[in-house]
Amino acid sequence: MRWTGPLESAALLTVLRVPAGAAASARGVLPWAPLVGLVLGGLAAGTAVTGTHLVSPLTGAVLGVALLAALTRGLHLDGLADTADGLGPLRGRERALQVMRQGDVGPFGVLTLVLALLLQVATGAALLAVDGGWVAVWTAVVVARLAMTRSGLPGVPTAEGSSLGRAVAGTVSVPWLAGWLAATALLAGGAAWLVTGPDGAWRMLVSAAAGLLAAEVLRARASARLGGVNGDVMGAMGETAATVVLLVAAVLV
């Protein structure tokens, strides 16, 4: 495993400037994405809690979502919109990939983006209104990067013409992903247990599992339509996972 990977992952997945030459490869992007999620999730949760205390849970949720969008350059949101445009209408594989490579966003993309952001803000506000709700906000961000990491396992097909997909294909081993899954379950479940007790822990784990499952369904759909994953699909998997984690956590709270 490349130990320059954290810098490579931060360079692509965040606005962070890294030393010249430290991120010359994309090989470490997906293996270290959960670590980036840990940091981003902490910043988003902290901002959301601060906004909640200063104004309201709704304000806190909006600030948390806005901070994530700013820190990631809206990269994953853009991927969600492009993927929706590619998968939404009934069109062939080549045309779908062509649409996703275009710079504009179509009606399917706009609708999906608006609904996803509304769900994130609404469920985030509901969670921030209760004790320990910040744990779900943090967990959602980490699980989003775990879902993206999964797309780097050996054997996952890459969509034609995806330079990022080719660069990160097979860069994640099964034991490495399993380690991150265990670490996330321990941290998220442990934090929820400390704040809200054992009931909070199982709710958090169920929410995380639901987010990963939703991302997997999206990956399977994209592979069937597009022939594999690309950078847009990876971003869409992350946003889908985060939204479902927040939604399920809000339902179970």
Instruction: Express each pLDDT in 165-207 by its tens digit.
Output: 888 888 999 999 999 999 999 999 999 999 999 999 999 999 9
Range of the domain at 72: 5-252
> How would DSSP label each residue in the chain?
--TTHHHHHHHHHSS----TTTT--STTTTTTHHHHHHHHHHHHHHHHHHHHHHT-HHHHHHHHHHHHHHHTTTHHHHHHHHHHHHHSSS--HHHHHHHHHSSS--HHHHHHHHHHHHHHHHHHHHHHTSTTTHHHHHHHHHHHHHHHHHTTSTT--B-TT-HHHHHHTT-S-HHHHHHHHHHHHHHHHHHHHHHH-HHHHHHHHHHHHHHHHHHHHHHHHHHHHHSSB-HHHHHHHHHHHHHHHHHHHHHH-
- Total domains, the chain: 1
**Residue 162 burial class via C-beta count within 10 angstroms: exposed 0-12, middle 13-18, buried 19 and up:** buried
Residue pLDDT, tens place only, 95-113:
878 878 877 788 888 999 9
Provide the sign of the torsion angle of the four alpha carbons 156, 158, 159, 160, taken in this order: negative
pLDDT per position in the chain (253 positions), as tens?
A: 555 778 888 888 888 876 655 555 677 789 999 999 999 999 999 999 999 999 999 999 999 999 999 999 999 999 999 999 888 876 678 787 887 887 778 888 899 999 999 999 999 999 999 999 999 999 999 999 999 999 999 999 998 888 888 888 889 999 999 999 999 999 999 999 999 999 999 999 999 999 999 999 999 999 988 999 999 999 999 999 999 999 999 999 8
CA-based torsion, 10, 16, 18, 21: positive or negative: positive
The residue type of 34 is: P
